[in-house]
Amino acid sequence: MQGYSFELVTGPMGCGKTEELLRRVRRTIIAKKKVKVISPEVDTRAHGDYIESRNGLWLEAIKVKNAAQILSVVKQDDEIVAIDELQFFDEYIVKVISKLVEAGKKVIGTGLDLDFKAEPFGYMPELMCLATKIDKLSAVCMKCGSEYATRTQRLVDGKPVDKNSPLIMIGGDETYEARCIKCYELPDVKSETRKREFKLLHFGE
């Protein structure tokens, strides 16, 4: 088990990032290492204090409100720090992970590389530069079945949302699916009716 390292698993929605994180964490538990599993509170998939992959695997996790809080959660004798959904953290996440790695810990993280607009998500570009090892996974395209789905399509009522939709929608009626570059769609709709519709979804009123 190597300390002083940062393994990053990235890719679109549904590529198996969390599943891979859980697999790696389980191995460290078998090796009797001290491990902390952390996830941002914004993650709506898991409601309790745990992280869950799409295939139903789960592990207890500590929910944090921001990146700085990670440092107060991790204890000196923790050897492994696993962090899910890194794309949701503030800019301090880059410093926090550097500090953990420099303190000799092995950090294993996951995060979406691209948002639904196919633009770099949060501080993932910086984290990819900082990583010791990166595994970029692809998903199966939900439209054509290609094994190289690298993008995350956001759908509302089964239709692709346009560019003006907010980056993070909590409690909305939206779904996501993995798509290949050929099948990915990003309409540029700016009509007032559409805007109002998204506002309502965003605030859940």
Give me the active site residues, please: 85
Binding mask 159-198 for Zn ion (x = CB under 5 A): ---------------------x--x---------------
H/E element, 8: strand 5-10
| Residues 183, 141 contacting (CB under 8 angstroms) | yes
Sole binder of Zn ion in the list 29, 129, 144, 167 (CB under 5 A): 144
Taking the C-alpha atoms of residue 138 and residue 36, their distance in angstroms, rounded to an integer, is 27
Residues 88-107 that bind Zn ion (CB under 5 A): none
Helices (H), 12-83: 17-30, 68-73
Which span (26-34, 56-64, 118-126, 141-149) binds Zn ion, by CB under 5 A? 141-149
63 or 143, CB closer to Zn ion? 143
What are the tokens at 142? 């939900």
Taking the C-alpha atoms of residue 75 and residue 61, their distance in angstroms, rounded to an integer, is 15
Sole binder of Zn ion in the list 82, 141, 156, 201 (CB under 5 A): 141
Shortest distance, CB of residue 159 to Zn ion, whole angstroms?
A: 17
What are the φ/ψ torsions at residue 171 (nearest 5 degrees)?
70, 10
- Is 140 a binding residue for Zn ion by CB under 5 A? The answer is no
- Is 13 a binding residue for Zn ion by CB under 5 A? The answer is no
According to DSSP, the residues that pair with 151 across neighbouring strands are 179
Residue numbers at the binding site for Zn ion (CB under 5 A): 141, 143-144, 146, 180, 183
